[in-house]
Amino acid sequence: MYFLTYDCACLFHKGDFMLIAFICLFICLYALPSIILAFLQIKHIKLELQKPAILLESEDYKQAGDYAIASLRLNILTHLFEILTFSLWVIFGLHFLSLWLESTLGAFSPLWREIALVLGFVIVGSIIEMPFSIYKTFFLDKKFGFSKQTPSLFIIDTLKSLALSIVIGGIIICLLVLIIENVALWWFVGFLALLGVVILANLIYPTLIAPLFNKFTPLSDENLKSRIESLMNTIGFKSNGIFVIDASRRDGRLNAYFGGLGKSKRVVLFDTLLDKISADGLIAILGHELGHFKHKDILKNIILMSCMLFVLFFIVGHLPESLFNTLGLAQNGAGVLLIMLLISPMIAFFFLPIMGYFSRKAEYKADEFGASLSSKNCLANALVRLVNENKSFPSSHPAYIFFYYTHPPLLQRLKALDYDLQH
């Protein structure tokens, strides 16, 4: 009896130690560095605000800085909340959710219960984080004149996202659970399957998913349409159309992009962009985007994404059984996916600098290509216009750039375009 009691106590302490170690890893490898970077960025912006304004008018410059600081403070609060929710999930939340669904859905097959467990984790997490989204949309972004969201539109968008998560997420979870529980080298096969899903999502998003949230209208300006088509023909870019979306229903900021892969590729212009940017500026911006197509940057991004997914699946595929036991999870498909979701922020955080490095290099090349189709001055003026309309603060801390920036700082892009900052 003495030895039995002693062994149980040892196991208990080992379990406690593993839980504490798991939480500490989350804090040290993701949450704490994110918070430190946010504080560095806030300090940098405050110092820059004491200097004369650049690229923006003084009032807009201050507003851009204030918005950036307010957003960063919200991010810090979000990361602190993530520490709390992560800790609660791993200490008792996952085990409780698993037991509750087991008793509630006992009549269903094990596969359905596993799908429900993973979906339940995702949905509960989304509900918990919703107050932050509401605050950003209806208070922060509205205060600075960006958000055009109405409560009804927000609710509709949320319900649509929830429905998509349940349907599409359920299919993906089902596929991965079957692979995990029936394939010997499941972590490798699962990685290939999820990579295929990512590629498929890029194919169907422009035509099947995006229209659920925005109205896509063919570009009516025949002159601009002709110029864009001529631009695309110069490099053999074939698309299924040039569309304008009603982005102004939700947000006043400007944007444009080429969406999709293969025959689903399409040119998408925000209606806000057409109102604020000249035709020449628009052509320069689209020329930049075409540069990404010419240099196969989408393919390169998919390769980088696949590397991150491979690392994630490899790590989860070699975790000890004791971790599952400590978290109160069965070592089945659902348990594997739940741990994967828990550690994915840590893995993604360390891939950010790698992906950012290659992305920033690609942006310089795309700028060079876009300028060759119009002119350096035309592209530079369009970029400055975007900064002014979007109230983007033009300066950032080097460490923040290293981790988070997929685009080079605007000042560096303008310098590469030989733009006179005193212009």
Token reading at 234: 């110069």
Say yes or no to pLDDT of 263 above 80: no
pLDDT, mean over the chain: 89
How would you classify the pairing of strands 266-270 and 242-245? parallel
Using one digit for the tens of pLDDT, what is the confidence trace for 188-197? 999 999 999 9
Reported as a pLDDT band with limits 50, 70 and 90, residue 423 is low
pLDDT at 227: 86
What are the residue ranges spanned by the domains of the chain?
2-215+290-416
Using CA of residue 396, residue 399, residue 402, residue 403, what is the dihedral sign? negative
Token reading at 399: 């460490």
Rounded to whole angstroms, how far apart are CA atoms 157 and 155? 5
Reported as a pLDDT band with limits 50, 70 and 90, residue 201 is confident
Using one digit for the tens of pLDDT, what is the confidence trace for 365-390? 999 988 888 888 888 988 888 888 88
* Tokens 């070592």, residue located: 331
Query: What is the CA 279 to chain-centroid distance, rounded?
Result: 30
pLDDT at 260: 72
Reported as a pLDDT band with limits 50, 70 and 90, residue 48 is very high
Rounded to whole angstroms, how far apart are CA atoms 138 and 392? 19
Angle 2-26/58-88 helices, nearest 10 degrees?
Answer: 170
* CB proximity list for 255: less than 8 A, separation 6 or greater: 247, 270, 272, 273
Q: What percent of the chain has pLDDT over 70?
A: 96
Rounded to whole angstroms, how far apart are CA atoms 403 and 411? 18
Using one digit for the tens of pLDDT, what is the confidence trace for 70-91? 999 999 999 999 999 999 999 9
Using one digit for the tens of pLDDT, what is the confidence trace for 127-175? 999 999 999 999 999 998 888 889 999 999 999 999 999 999 999 999 9
By three-state DSSP, how is residue 173 classified?
A: helix
- The DSSP symbol for 147 reads B
Using one digit for the tens of pLDDT, what is the confidence trace for 238-261? 777 888 888 888 887 878 777 777
How confident is the model over 378-404, as a mean pLDDT? Answer: 90
Lowest-pLDDT range of 2-6, 108-112, 322-326: 2-6
* CB proximity list for 191: less than 8 A, separation 6 or greater: 306, 309, 310, 312, 313, 314
Token reading at 328: 């109160």
Token reading at 11: 């196991």
Rounded to whole angstroms, how far apart are CA atoms 375 and 232? 17
Closest CA to 316 of 178, 186, 124, 177: 186
By three-state DSSP, how is residue 216 classified?
A: strand
Reported as a pLDDT band with limits 50, 70 and 90, residue 15 is low
By three-state DSSP, how is residue 218 classified?
A: strand
Q: Phi and psi of 43, rounded to 5°?
A: -60, -40
How many other β-carbons are positioned within 10 Å of the β-carbon of residue 55? 21
According to the 3-state scheme, what is the secondary structure of 227-289? HHHHHHHCCCCCCCCEEEECHHHCECCCCEEEECCHHHCEEEEEHHHHHHCCHHHHHHHHHHH
Question: Is the separation of the CB atoms in 382 and 371 below 8 Å?
Answer: no
Per the model's pLDDT, the better-predicted residue between 5 and 220 turns out to be 220
How confident is the model over 29-56, as a mean pLDDT? Answer: 95
* CB proximity list for 160: less than 8 A, separation 6 or greater: 212, 213
How confident is the model over 314-333, as a mean pLDDT? Answer: 92
